[in-house]
Copies of this chain bind each other. A is one copy, B any other.
Amino acid sequence: MDESVQPAEQEISDQRLLKGARARASIARRAAEVASVEGLTGLSLARLAGDLGVSKSGVATLFGTKEKLQLAAVQSAREQFIELVIRPAYSRERGMARLRAIVENWFAYIDGPTLPGGCFRGQSIPEFDSRPGPVRDALAADRDDWFAVLEKEIGRAQEQGYLAGLDPHAVAFQLDAIVSAANTATRMGDETALPLSRTLIDGLLGTRD
């Protein structure tokens, strides 16, 4: 074996891995988009391959099973939500300012062009909440993390004197319930739902400065 070819082989192998990772990420993103409209149940390896102009066997090689593709879609949507809704709010002061920034980003996420079917969690949790297995587990873990983020900032807001005497989980539950209902109502064509929800949340968090 000629040792001089090893670096080149290594480089080709790295490029293949990188190409595989990029393909995997773009298929997972597309899967999240499709699932936001048609549900995770509606995903198929063949359909995604067709959408992206790649072979079905290529998609099957990268993901293996429909369930693994569903899990990759959940992970992709989770990363997108963190990137668009949570991370930008961390430039704001802890507590109420950050909580309000999270809520604003969240409204922009459900009302914007991110996913064609609106909020991913609002679509996929009702879809899988009665179907035990890895997909439901992944959605439950993501939901727990999301509530932990909200409750942490609500607790900090209380240290700042806001939301006095309220249970942080109850406040998080109401925020989530109202924004989720706004997402669904908006998707059903109710144009009053977003402004109504903003008003209700302003009431819940206390009047703006």
Contacts and interface: CB of A to CB of B under 8 A. Distances in A.
A184 B126 contact: yes
A8 interface: no
A202 interface: no
Instruction: Provide the main secondary structure of the chain A interface.
Output: helix
B180 A192 contact: no
A126 to B, nearest CB: 5
A169 interface: yes
A36 B42 CA distance: 16
A145 to B, nearest CB: 13
A70 to B, nearest CB: 13
Contacts of A101: none
A155 interface: no
A143 B189 CA distance: 12
A54 to B, nearest CB: 24
Given A118-B129, A127-B123, A181 B189 contact: no
A174 interface: yes
Interface in A56-104: none
Shortest 8 CB-CB distances between A and B: which pairs?
A177-B181, A129-B187, A117-B130, A177-B177, A126-B126, A37-B130, A41-B41, A129-B188
23 contacts: A37-B131, A38-B41, A116-B130, A117-B129, A117-B130, A123-B126, A123-B130, A126-B127, A126-B187, A127-B127, A129-B184, A129-B187, A130-B187, A140-B189, A169-B196, A170-B200, A173-B185, A173-B200, A177-B177, A177-B181, A180-B180, A180-B181, A180-B184
Given A117-B129, A118-B130, A170-B200, 11 more contacts: A41-B42, A118-B129, A126-B126, A127-B127, A130-B187, A169-B196, A174-B200, A177-B178, A177-B181, A180-B180, A180-B184
Interface of A: 36-39, 41-42, 116-118, 122-123, 125-127, 129-131, 136, 139-140, 143, 169-170, 173-174, 176-178, 180-181, 184-185, 187-189, 192-193, 196-197, 199-200
